Amino acid sequence: MTIDDAPLEGKVAVVTGAARNIGEAIAKRLAAYGVAVVINALKDREAADAVAHDIFDAGGRAIAHIADITNEDAARTLVDTAIKGFGRLDILVCNASIRSQTPFHKISLEEWHKTLAVPLDGTFLCARAATPQMMKGKWGRVITLGGVSSYIGTANRAHVLTAKAGLVGLTRALAVELAPFNITCNVISPGHIDTNRPSSAGERPPMKVKPQIDRMGDVREIASMVHYLCLPEDGYITGQTMHINGGLYFGI
């Protein structure tokens, strides 16, 4: 296999919230195409190590790193781990989030701040630490994970929807500022994806409107879009929101 056959061979990625579900699928997809991956999780060392071991067993390269990305020092250390472990950093996938469900009038200010902090503060801090490395190399990819709920609305998740909507603005701002350095920045907005939900997320809300493709999405379908956006030949796509929801929401 030549480098032309494997355009991502030798690239290095950090994937936040990568110990399970969509994050795990993204990490494994990138690793399968030659990307060395840092598997980030908040506290589940066993799960993060298991993903790294799966990648290693499949012939890839990965490091598990536990870090609270809402902490400035921890976010910087996460990026440093990628650089020290693999010598560079090319791709940042900000997938970590909190999927709590609370009626609007019962959301405490503490819960509001905590729910916004992981996707917004976490992305801000990780991107601020990671992008100088990409700027030096004149190449990079920043991909954030939004969600269809912020476009169609969902009860009991005002804080989650606000956080996901905020990611769109942050990602577009980064797309403008980082374009001169050949760094693209895009949002992936999944629809109803079949995942293992933590207890904090509560029961899955019923689908009041069915997507045109009448099934749940697969985590690998989200990972495939991440892989696509990372390819060198897709370097003219930036500042966009890629909707993957089976036709539940067509976008504008």
**Inside any domain, residue 128:** yes
pLDDT of residue 199: 55
CA distance 23 to 19: 7
**Inside any domain, residue 104:** yes
**Inside any domain, residue 3:** no
**Inside any domain, residue 76:** yes
Write out pLDDT tens, residues 61-80. Answer: 999 999 999 999 999 999 99
For the chain, residues with pLDDT lower than 70 are: 1-5, 197-208, 252
pLDDT of residue 251: 78
What is the domain count for the chain? 1
> Strand runs (DSSP E) across 50-175, as ranges?
62-66, 91-94, 140-145
pLDDT of residue 4: 57
pLDDT of residue 23: 98
**Inside any domain, residue 7:** no
pLDDT of residue 209: 80
**Strand, coil or helix: what is 187?**
strand
Q: How many CB atoms lie within 10 A of CB 46?
A: 10
**Inside any domain, residue 238:** yes
Which domain range does residue 117 map to? 12-194+204-244
**Inside any domain, residue 148:** yes
pLDDT of residue 99: 86
**Inside any domain, residue 132:** yes
pLDDT of residue 2: 43
At 35, which CATH number? Answer: 3.40.50.720
pLDDT of residue 6: 82
The position carrying tokens 């990305």 is 69
pLDDT of residue 198: 60
pLDDT of residue 3: 44
Question: In the chain, helix, strand, coil percent, each to 5?
Answer: 45, 15, 40
The end-to-end CA distance of the chain, in Å, is 40
Nearest partner of 92 among 76, 79, 110, judged by Cα = 79
pLDDT of residue 166: 97
